[in-house]
Amino acid sequence: MEYLSGSGKAQHVQGMFVRLSKHYDLMNRIMTARQDIRWRQEVVQRLNLPVGSLLLDLGAGTGDLAKEALLLHPDCQCVAADFTLEMLLVGKAKNKQMPIEWAASDALCLSFPTNTFSAIVSGFLMRNVSDIDHALFEQHRVLKPGGKIVILDTTRPVKSLLRPLTNFHLHKVIPYLGALITGDRIAYTYLPQSTENFLLAEQLAACMVLAGFRHVGFRRLMLGTVAIHWGIKPDIPG
Ligand SMILES: C[S@@+](CC[C@H](N)C(=O)[O-])C[C@H]1O[C@@H](n2cnc3c(N)ncnc32)[C@H](O)[C@@H]1O
């Protein structure tokens, strides 16, 4: 598959998550050996949410980050937004007890007013958007001054002695498991491809600074194939 950009990429990504919605959670648990749950917990802990915060889980899919946030902060209000309705419907069905507000919204044109949210999290969204700078700009816009952003995503692995191992996992194990469990080898070939084509962790941090975030930092996980980035929208712009 050639590497797509612009609206072609958005259509491809949406179509893929429509097809994967029913198997998405199971594949996540298997591919990461359940580590994704721990990463989501770390994302939410890094927010240090004050009581009564309004949180946006962007590219929420089936809402696992929103759920984790409510488990840690039952007092917060949580909006889970995504442009693939089928993912949101799976999330809504499995989180009936959770007071999550589900919203159809495109990360490149957020349907929320400026300065709305106390914090924004995203899990495995950013490498899927066709314009990373614009997605960051939109998140900066809807965050309140002083609000925090935390991003969990795969990241382009750096050269290391373990690279053959991570390559084998990305290019052989994941497509094989994806085909076996979901019957969709193409979707699970896209995952390693989008990881290889995504920014290095340092580059994503630089984009966050360019979008206006401050106190930006990151931590690599899973042999350098996953990273958590964080930053703050300053009280005073600049
Ligand atoms: C890999 S899934 C991640 C789901 C969930 N955040 C998680 O941590 O498991 C990526 C999600 O991002 C959504 N997505 C991709 N591009 C988007 C965009 N431009 N606007 C909103 N959602 C988008 C997809 O529909 C999909 O549900």
Instruction: Round to whole Å and give the CA distance between 135 and 138.
Output: 5
Residue 152 CA, closest ligand 1 atom number: 8
> What is the pTM assigned to this prediction?
0.93
Q: What pLDDT, on the 0 to 100 scale, is given for residue 193?
A: 85
Q: In 3D, which of 207, 201, 122, 190 has the Cα closest to residue 157?
A: 201
* C-beta of 66 in contact with ligand 1 (< 6 A): no
Residue 57 CA, closest ligand 1 atom number: 6
Judging by beta carbons within 10 Å of its beta carbon (0-12, 13-18, 19+), is residue 189 exposed, middle or buried? middle
- Residue whose CA is closest, atom 1 of ligand 1? 124
Q: What pLDDT, on the 0 to 100 scale, is given for residue 205?
A: 98
* C-beta of 123 in contact with ligand 1 (< 6 A): yes
Instruction: Round to whole Å and give the CA distance between 99 and 233.
Output: 26
- Which of the listed CATH numbers 3.40.1180.10, 3.30.1490.20, 3.40.50.150, 3.40.630.30 matches domain 6-155+199-232? 3.40.50.150
What tens-digit pLDDT sequence spans the chain (238 residues)?
445 667 788 999 999 999 989 988 888 898 888 999 999 999 999 999 999 999 999 999 999 999 999 999 999 999 999 999 999 999 999 999 999 999 999 999 999 999 999 999 999 999 999 999 999 999 999 999 999 999 999 998 878 788 888 888 888 888 888 888 888 888 788 888 888 889 999 999 999 999 999 999 999 998 888 999 999 999 876 5
- Residue whose CA is closest, atom 26 of ligand 1? 61
CA 172 – ligand 1 centroid, Å: 23
* C-beta of 188 in contact with ligand 1 (< 6 A): no
Instruction: Round to whole Å and give the CA distance between 128 and 152.
Output: 12
- Using alpha carbons, list the distances in angstroms from residue 229 to 18, 120, 188, 192: 27, 12, 24, 20
CA 14 – ligand 1 centroid, Å: 8
Q: What pLDDT, on the 0 to 100 scale, is given for residue 2?
A: 46
Write down the domain spans for the chain.
6-155+199-232
Torsion, Cα of 215, 43, 7, 32 (10° steps): 130
Quick count: other Cβ atoms within 10 Å of Cβ 17? 21
* C-beta of 87 in contact with ligand 1 (< 6 A): yes
Residue 65 CA, closest ligand 1 atom number: 8
Residue 105 CA, closest ligand 1 atom number: 21
